[in-house]
Structure formats: structure tokens, C-alpha cells
Structure 1
Amino acid sequence: MNRKGCPEEYPITLIVNGFEIAVFQLTNSDLVDWAFGYLFSEGLVEKVDDVIEVQVNEEKGTINVSLNEAFDEEIFFSKKKHYTAGCGRGVTFFSMTDVKSFDKVNSPQTYPLSYLLKKRSQFAQNSPMYLESGGMHGACIVQEDGSIVIREDIGRHNAVDKIIGYALRNRLNPEKLILLTTGRVSYEMLSKAAKYGFAVIGSRTAATKQAVQLAKYLNIEVIGYLRGKMSISYTSFGRVINDLEERKVGGSSY
């Protein structure tokens, strides 16, 4: 019998300008990236320069963030919480209506489907935590030059926050990036990607009906079930070109 290591998760308290936001279950890696990504995804920061400092204390299990602007905790906590549908339970303060107010994507970038499948394979082969335990999620950005950057976590939404944080800290142009994820693309996953401005999202698995509705509204290309030569096109804005023999998958083809 082959044995793999167990996935790890830790309770991490996020504190912003002295105010405790929540306790999150996170994998103890790339926590600075996660803090930037989560704060951006939830609208607490708009750019990397809004953050003065991020201090991670692994012994206490805390992330302390200092922002340039005052943090109005009453306004923030008055928003309705929406618990995420997935492992590594999280919370978002953005509703479907909030997400529809995000800027629509107008990227002219196009990619062959074979390119996405190739990058998805590279992503899978270069995810050490998943290969070790078999129980981790990952998020990956494909850069304009074809290089990939991967972040992993017990929670799929945490992994996406980590990769958004990396992109934000490195001031990357979202219109020239592809976002790949191992997890289901639900509305809160789509909202995170939409907030940053990704034009193309690819997943190893499905997208929910709510996520697809939002993607159509915001002009975001969503491709699911990227496996081998398989895929499903949930939205089509001409950014992903089918250069492979058409293959029927479920109720759709690509």
C-alpha cells in the first residue's frame, strides 16, 4: 500500500490595523501572499502600496497587517458574511450584486486550447504539496512568457488568494495572465478572479451555474475539466481557440 503524508492546516488569525478579522484554516506556506490576496479580494486594499507591512508570527498563529489608510471596522463588519463552499472553510463579504459591479474584462489576448492543456499538465507536475499528500488544492498563473507560478493550500479559495497576492505584489498585468485552479469554480472563486481582472480561467473540474452567469456578465472566459485532451467551454469570448479535434464532453463540446 502506498502511503502519502497528510495535508496540513493551521488556524491563522488575520489582524488588520489592530482589529481581528477572523480565524482562517490555512496551509502554513506563502502566508504573506495570502494576506495580500485576501485583503485585495475583499476590497480592503486596491494596490500593493496600500499595505505598509505584513508580519507573520508562526508561533502565535497570527498575521498582522498595517495599512496606510485607517480601517473602518464598523463598515466592514456590517457587511453580510458569505461562507465559501469548500474545504479550508472561508468567508467572503462580497455578494453576487457586489461582484456584478466589478469592471468587465476586455482583454484581446487569445490562446490555443492545446496551450491551456499543456500548462495544466505542467501545473499538475509541479505541485509538490499535492504530489506529497494527494489532498491539496492549487492555483497557478501562466505568464506572458509561458512561465508558471504555483501556490498551494488546503482550501481552493486560499490557494487562489495566494496566487492573486503574488501577482499583486509583483504588479503583474492580469489581462496577460491565465489563472488555473484545481478546484471547482464557484461564485466566490469567480469573484476573486474578477476582482483582479483575469480574462481566462481554467479548472481541472467544474464551474457552478452562478459562477458561469457572473463570468458571462463580466466577459470572463471559463474553461472547465481541463484533463488530457478534454475540456468544457462554459463561456466563449473568443480568447480560447479550439485547435484540437472536437471531442464531446457531457453536454458541451470543445
Structure 2
Amino acid sequence: MNPLSINLVKTRAEVPLTIAVTAVNENGEVVDKHVACERPLTVYLNWRPIVTLMTLGARPEALALGYLKNQGFITDAKQLESVIVDWDVNSAAIITTEQTENLEQQLSEKTVTTGCGQGTVFGGFMDGVEDIKLPTPQIKQSTLYSLLKNINEYNDTYKNAGAVHGCGICHEDQILNFVEDVGRHNAVDTLAGEMWINQQDGADKVFYTTGRLTSEMVIKVAKMGIPVLLSRSGVTQMGLELAQKLGITTIARAKGRHFLIYNGSETIEFDAPSKR
């Protein structure tokens, strides 16, 4: 399907992701290093402030759209009129003709989550989750190993400065889209926003993240229509319960030739067992 035509008005939308600093190492020597940037981005919906996100600022338009879509504030991409990012005032304004009469009620219903730092989800976050039907994937163990190897070519900001999470949308062992941010939920929202605008199907995709698999992460991936969740980190009890309910193959602690399948082991073809 073709991407939707949306007027992305940018005002200083590109910002540096890292800055050079000096540090002192364990031997007392001064060394040149880089640190990840972190900046506030206030998201507006029809000029109503919704939330301020702390972000690296890599792809702010997609981040703002993905956040509003995942939280249930907007649902119809065809009614979007513009996305205006202005780093002079640290803002991203989304203009839509979609009706937002329930906005105040949604904003009043919020839950503090286990997001990086302190996250919040709003009243529309769970809307439609029970109606999600995901396909049953089939994945080869050898393909997972190849994917994990290919992932090592990414994480540029992490390699340069640390302090960020990375997320990627993958097909078989290829990484189709990858983004880093100071919080894993910013990264998944960015990818969700781009998938939504580009009208991409998630049925044959794998979602990779360096972060832990909490309930919020599982729900966001389910909303993207992706049936496989792969993480370098661990999984929480509620995240696992939701993955089981939604039928998401859940693979965690994945690094090198090691991984743990917490849900959906029947979807994995063990064609490359590790040598002991």
C-alpha cells in the first residue's frame, strides 16, 4: 500500500543526537567521549498539549504520531492534516480533522507505567486490544541467529554514547527499520507512527527491542499487528500474560546464540541447535 500524503512541516526538525564531552577514566586520564542528547518534546493535538516526552529527537514527527495513535487519541490517518515540529520551542503539533470530543476524559484516565523513567498511559490505550487477531508465525532458529547477528550492525548511538534503547522492525533476518531513543517506548512509538503512515502490514514481521518486555510494550506491538517479539532483555509477568492472551511469540534474553522462548515455542523450528 502507498504511504499517505501528509504535509510534514518542519522547523529545525533535525537536531544532533550526541555531543562531544570529556571524561576522566579509571587511570585519571582525560578522554574524549560522546553522550546521548536528551530534550523535551511537547506533543500537541489540535493545539491542545497532551504530553511532554523526553527524547533523543531522531524522528520527532513519527514519534508524535505513533504516541498519539498508540494511546488512542487518533485512529484515522486519512484525516491527518499536518505535523509541525519546531525545536525552537520543543514542540510537535499534530493537526487532524478527526473528532476528539473524548479528549478530556481520556486525559483524566491515566496510569503510571514501568516505562523508562516514569511513563503514563491514558484512557484510550486499551481500546481495541481484545479484538486484535494476530497470525501464527513460523520462524527458523537459524533465521533468529542470523537476525541477531545483523542487529549488531545497528545501535550507532548506543555504540557511540550509550544511554539509549534501540528498536527495529524486521522481516526474516533483515532489519527494515531501526530507531534509537532515550526510552524504549519512544523508539516503539516512532516505528509505530511510521508503519501507520506508510500503511505497512505487520503480519510477517518481527519486532526487536533492547528493552524489557512489559505489558505496555506487548500491547503496542500487538497494535502494530506484529506476532513476534524479540528482546535482548527480560519479560515481566504481566507482559508474558498479555503475550499469551494475544498469541505473540515472545523471545527474550536474546544475544549471540542464546535466547529463551517464553511463549510460542511451537512456532520455532529448531534447525540449528547449539553445540555443547
Aligned length: 246
* C-alpha deviation, 1:99, in angstroms: 7.1
- Decide whether the 8 Å contact of 2:209 with 2:231 is kept in 1: yes
Q: Is the CA contact (8 Å cut-off) linking 2:56 and 2:182 kept in structure 1?
A: yes
SS in 1 for 2:192: helix
**Identity over the aligned pairs, expressed in percent?**
27
**Alignment pair present for 1:78 and 2:128:** no
- Structure 1 or 2: larger strand share? 2
Partner of 1:163: 191
User: In the TM superposition, what whole-angstrom CA distance separates every residue of 1:134-184 from its partner, at most 9, and x where no partner exists?
Assistant: 211011001368342101100011111111112112211010111000000
Tell whether the 8 Å contact from 1:24 to 1:89 is kept in structure 2 after alignment. Answer: no
Once residues 100 and 239 of structure 2 are traced to their aligned partners in structure 1, the CA distance between those partners, rounded to angstroms, is: 30
Check whether the contact 1:17–1:66 (CA below 8 A) recurs between aligned residues: yes
Match of 2:116 in 1: 87
**Aligned-partner Cα distance in 1 for 2:260–2:154:** 24
> Which residue of 2 is the match for residue 229 of structure 1?
257
Distance 1:246 1:84 in 2: 37
The alignment's C-alpha RMSD in Å is 2.3
TM-score by length of 1: 0.88
Asked if 2 retains the 8 angstrom alpha-carbon contact of 1:13 and 1:24, the reply is: yes
**1-side partners of 2:267 and 2:193: how far apart?**
24
Given that 2:72 and 2:125 are in contact with CA atoms closer than 8 Å, whether structure 1 keeps it comes out as no
Deviation at 1:89, TM superposition (A): 3.6
Any gaps of 5 or more consecutive residues in structure 2?
A: 1-24, 26-30
> 1:105-133: per-residue Cα shift (whole Å, max 9, x none)?
1x143221232232233223212111111
Alignment of 1:1-254 (within 5 A): 1=25, 4-72=33-101, 73-79=103-109, 81-93=110-122, 101-105=130-134, 107-143=135-171, 146-236=174-264, 238-245=266-273
Deviates more, 1:64-73 or 1:202-211: 64-73
Please tell me the residue identity of whatever aligns with 1:69: E
Indicate how the Cα distance of structure 1 residues 123 and 246 shifts in structure 2: closer, same or farther if over 3 A, else same: closer
Give, as a single letter, the amino acid of the residue that structure 1 aligns with 2:93: N
Deviation at 1:94, TM superposition (A): 5.5
**Deviates most, 23-32 or 139-148:** 139-148
Distance 1:47 1:131 in 2: 37
How many angstroms does 1:239 deviate by? 2.9
- Rounded to whole Å, the distance in 2 between the matches of 1:194 and 1:169 is 17
Bigger radius of gyration, 1 or 2? 2
1:83 to partner: Cα distance: 2.3
Whole-Å separation in 2 of the counterparts to 1:129 and 1:38: 22
Q: Gaps spanning 5+ residues in structure 1: where?
A: 249-254
Matched to 2:49, the amino acid is E
Q: Name whichever of 119-128 and 21-30 sits farther off.
A: 119-128
The answer to whether the 8 Å contact 1:137/1:155 transfers is: yes
Query: 1:98 Cα deviation (Å)?
Result: 5.2
Cα distance in 2 between the residues matched to 1:99 and 1:168: 16
What is the deviation of 1:97? Answer: 6.5
AA at the equivalent of 2:157: M
